[in-house]
């Protein structure tokens, strides 16, 4: 599969606003500032399709992008941004959990984790939900260009071991929005989940 077209469709603040046409969805999940929008832009070979924030924690909507007029990418609101009030944080958590739990057309989640750091508690809580709700996911280790090449294999191995215990984990892929590293692997795995044998 090649990503030939991508367009912004809508930003939803609640689940009632989500598309009802049944097209498959791939959702991108990760803490605020981990690189979700940059990854979506890179996959789509676009400079500014998904809004990249200079102001972390700003993406509050579920942003829908129609890909190849065939399926959706969903940029989920980033979690874990410290300066967001507790009440707002818990309502985001509920929105994300409701979405994961109820969205039957959700075919794959790309869970983003910073390649240089240990996954956060919230990252592990999210993949726990994914396993619990039986949603296949793949882990993208973002900003891999910031890791010295010599350290890369050890970091990737550690992450693979960490996620190996999750039944729904399909793969762990180092990724860089700067260099495009990992893009081909991500597109290949996404294609396996959204196309019907094409």
Q: State the Cα–Cα distance between residues 149 and 145, nearest whole angstrom.
A: 8
Does residue number 59 form part of the binding site for Mg ion (CB under 5 A)?
yes
> In the complex with Mg ion, which residue's Cβ is closer, 164 or 178?
178
- Is there binding between residue 52 and ligand GTP (CB under 6 A)? yes
DSSP E strands: which ranges in the chain?
Answer: 6-12, 25-29, 62-67, 71-75, 106-114, 137-142, 169-174
Beta bridge partners of 108: 26
Candidate list 84, 176, 190, 194; residue touching ligand GTP; CB under 6 A: 176
Q: Which is nearer to ligand GTP, 6 or 59 (CB)?
A: 59
d(CA 184, CA 53): 25
Cα-Cα-Cα-Cα dihedral sign, residues 157, 163, 168, 172 = negative
Q: Which stretch binds ligand GTP (CB under 6 A): 7-15, 17-25, 125-133, 176-184?
A: 176-184
Separation between Cα atoms, residue 191 and residue 198, nearest integer Å: 9
State yes or no: residue 13 binds ligand GTP (CB under 6 A): no
Q: Does 107 bind ligand GTP (CB under 6 A)?
A: no
State which residue, 41 or 107, has the beta carbon closest to Mg ion.
Answer: 41
Cα distance between residue 130 and residue 127, in whole Å: 5
Contact predicate 87/115, CB 8 Å:
no
36 contacts ligand GTP (rule: CB under 6 A): yes
Nearest residue by C-beta to ligand GTP? Answer: 78
| Minimum CB–partner distance for residue 49 and Mg ion (Å) | 11
Does 120 engage in binding with ligand GTP (CB under 6 A)?
no
Which of the residues 16 through 35 are near ligand GTP (CB under 6 A)? Answer: 30, 32-35
Q: In degrees, to the nearest 5, what angle opens at C-alpha 69 toward C-alphas 64 and 72? A: 30
Q: CA distances (Å), 195 to each of 1, 23, 44, 72, in order?
A: 9, 11, 16, 12
> Among residues 6, 33, 37, 176, which is the contact residue for Mg ion, using CB under 5 A?
37
Q: Which residue is nearest to Mg ion (CB)?
A: 37
Interface residues toward ligand GTP, by CB under 6 A: 30, 32-38, 52-53, 56-59, 78, 142-143, 145-146, 176-178
């Amino acid at each position: 599969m090649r990503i030939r077209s991508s367009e912004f469709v809508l930003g939803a603040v609640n689940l009632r606003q989500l598309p009802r046409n049944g097209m498959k969805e791939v959702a991108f999940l990760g803490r605020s500032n981990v690189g979700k929008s940059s990854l979506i832009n890179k996959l789509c070979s676009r400079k500014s399709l998904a809004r990249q924030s200079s102001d972390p924690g700003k993406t509050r909507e579920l942003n829908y992008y129609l890909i190849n007029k065939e399926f959706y990418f969903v940029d989920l609101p980033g979690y874990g941004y410290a300066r967001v009030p507790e009440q707002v944080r818990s309502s985001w958590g509920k929105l994300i959990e409701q979405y994961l739990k109820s969205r039957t057309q959700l075919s794959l989640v790309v869970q983003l984790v910073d390649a240089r750091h240990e996954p956060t508690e919230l990252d592990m809580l999210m993949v726990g939900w994914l396993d619990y709700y039986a949603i296949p996911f793949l882990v993208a280790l973002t900003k891999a260009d910031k890791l010295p090449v010599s350290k890369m294999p050890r970091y990737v191995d550690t992450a693979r071991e960490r996620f190996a215990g999750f039944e729904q984990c399909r793969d762990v892929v180092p990724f860089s929005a700067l260099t495009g590293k990992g893009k081909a692997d991500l597109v290949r795995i996404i294609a396996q989940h959204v196309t019907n044998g094409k």
